[in-house]
Chains A and B, each alone.
Chain A
Amino acid sequence: MTSFATDTILIFRRQLALMLRQPAWVIIGLIQPILYLVFFGPLLTKVASGSLAGFPPGNSYSFFVPGLLIQLGLFGASFVGFAIIADWRAGVIERFRVTPVNRLALLAGRVLRDALILLIQAIILVLAGLAFGLRAPLGGVLIGLAFITLVGVSLAAISYSVGLLLKSEDALAPLLNMVVVPLMLLSGIMLPMTLGPGWLQGIARATPFRYIIDAMREAFHGVYGGAIMIEGAAVAVGMAAVCIWAASRAFVRENA
């Protein structure tokens, strides 16, 4: 177990150094949600104040920013699988798999780096939200960031394992689009899912982000102890557990 911890830190620091060599990517990943914040957020203020059924009361940005955080996670962490394909192609994965390094640490170090980067991006996004008029309690924001970190861990882990199994960018790209776009639409990040017809709400209830985003919105509204929060936390932790378990199988298996 100690080799797992030391090797995880070793890989984490290596991956972080690689990322910091090209810090532009951290900013580029933020562009999409910031654009939504600037060009779409103001529209929502009017819709929300027009007392449209389904919109929660209060500040429209405390509804919208959690959605943008999920979007950031979905589009940031889901695409890390491309990096593992590049690593595999460079022979880096195989080179490490022949050494006594803990194979699970090859995954954990990477995931940890991605979670940290996502957290930093999320903090920047929240600060930008504040500038636009977001008002939320600090405790709620911290809970929101914890959620988004769990989302990042889950998605990065699963993306790495799928990338490592497919070993082809051409296969990974359409697969991600096929999965990420419906997940984003069904999570209700732009508009409340409760606006939709019953069948749409039913489908949305089958996706994890639907629960997570509701819990994050509650947190941003300063409600911490309700059933929605417990549900959301359970789904987030459960999703992370399942993703890490599945990904670790891909990394520690004998043949790769």
Chain B
Amino acid sequence: MAIIEARGLARTFVSRRSTVEAVRGVDLEVGDGEIVGFLGPNGAGKTTTLRMLTTLLKPTAGTAIVCGADLRRDPGNVRKRIGYVPQAIGLTAGGSDPNCLVREELKIQAKVYRVPAAEIPARMQRIIDQLELTGLDDRLCKTLSGGQRRRLDIALGLIHSPRLVFLDEPTTGLDPQSRSNLWDHIRALRADLHTTVFLTTHYLEEADALCDRVLVIDNGKIIASGSPEELKRRISGDVVTLSVTGDTAVAQNVLAADQAVREIGVEGRSLRLSVEHGEEALPGLLRALDRAGLSLTSIQLARPTLDDVFLTLTGRSLRDDSATAGQEAQAPAVAISAPASTKTS
């Protein structure tokens, strides 16, 4: 059964000078118990879509049923049934007041979600255990580390045990350890609490690590969807770059004979191959070159990155601002599918 069902959701921002179509007709369906990722660069329309689905922004067109309640006619019931964790980058932070105690924040959150007073202490304890916030109850939010603060933001979105939680850029700005730690927590939400998770991210490896299904959004439209594996394969395959001593034309012929190789480009002495299942194809390619008497000077295998995905889907590179570009650079430390290069010389 679908827990989110959106049809033609659109949002146009009109200002005196210009009209911006932030989201142009999004159709999406999320099943009960799924972890679905909304992947796209900054400004693609991820947050705008999320803000519409969470009743923060009125759609200019389209409809959606969220947790059984109509977004337009019954936003009150949508609010009761969902949890929402705002993004903690850009203009606004993740929702906790820097000058409040962790305990106070959890308590007032439980109260505004109408959790019965008698149940509040148990709920607080459970969420504190679940998100490893033990011992932080009496700390001011501003004294928490980035990872702790983010876990608190998530705890606030979960205090009323919603069936569905929206996480906007849950790990952006965190260091690699905190990020992979948070990934474990997000996985546990479904495993332990059977919560459906809808998250946005601009990290392919995050979508890869967490999501059953990924929706790629750009310029306000969903341009691809599927499991992370499907998406990566369909989008660009792995890239093998190698250089040989000897005739590159011969090498090109030898390699083209391999079934896994989809495309070959030559630049000087190096060849750039688009290969399906690169890590499995690699031994075969090496043997083939060996048999032809060509010796390698270098070889590199790279998995597709978000940039490759976008390049292939949109014909241009990922639009991104400098702040997130910096964060992107530190991501590969824990990334499962980040440019995991094998280099031999």
Contacts and interface: CB of A to CB of B under 8 A. Distances in A.
Interface of A: 7, 10, 14, 17-18, 21-22, 87-92, 94-101, 167, 254-256
A254 B79 CA distance: 13
B57 interface: yes
10 contacts: A7-B112, A17-B104, A18-B100, A87-B97, A92-B96, A98-B54, A100-B76, A100-B79, A167-B91, A254-B57
Contact of B96 (A7, A14, A22, A90): A90
Interface of B: 54-58, 76, 79-80, 82, 84, 86, 88, 91-100, 104, 108-109, 111-114, 153, 156
A91 B99 contact: no
A91 B108 CA distance: 15
Nearest to A92: B97
A19 B156 CA distance: 22
Nearest to B57: A255
A29 B305 CA distance: 55
A100 B113 CA distance: 6
A90 B95 contact: yes
Given A18-B97, A90-B96, A98 B79 contact: yes
Contact of B112 (A17, A21, A101, A255): A101
A229 to B, nearest CB: 41
Residue of B76, B86, B88 with highest tally of chain A CB at under 10 A: B86
B57 A89 contact: no
What's the dominant secondary structure at chain A's contact region? helix
B86 A95 contact: yes
Contacts of B92: 88-91, 94
Contact of A95 (B55, B58, B156): B156
A101 B95 CA distance: 15
B93 A90 contact: yes
Contact of A100 (B88, B108, B114): B114
A94 B94 CA distance: 9
What's the dominant secondary structure at chain B's contact region? loop
Contacts of B156: 95
B100 A94 contact: no
A7 B108 CA distance: 10
Given A90-B93, A91-B92, A94-B92, A100 B112 contact: yes
A88 B112 CA distance: 18
A18 B112 CA distance: 18
Nearest to B140: A21
Given A98-B54, A98-B84, 15 more contacts: A7-B112, A14-B104, A17-B104, A18-B99, A90-B93, A91-B92, A91-B93, A91-B94, A91-B96, A95-B84, A97-B56, A98-B79, A99-B112, A100-B79, A255-B58
A96 B113 CA distance: 10
Residue of A89, A255, A256 with highest tally of chain B CB at under 10 A: A255
Residue of B92, B98, B113 with highest tally of chain A CB at under 10 A: B92
B98 A14 contact: no
A254 B76 CA distance: 12
A96 B95 CA distance: 8
B79 A91 contact: no
B56 A255 contact: yes
Nearest to B87: A91
B56 A99 contact: no
A89 B99 contact: no
Nearest to B55: A98
A135 to B, nearest CB: 42
B56 A94 contact: yes
Contacts of B104: 14, 17
A169 B113 CA distance: 31
B93 A89 contact: yes
A96 B109 CA distance: 8
Nearest to A167: B91
Given A10-B111, A94-B56, A89 B91 contact: yes
A17 B54 CA distance: 29
A255 B59 CA distance: 10
Contacts of A87: 97
A73 to B, nearest CB: 25
Contacts of B57: 254-255
Nearest to A88: B92
A100 B80 CA distance: 6
B141 to A, nearest CB: 9
Nearest to A99: B112
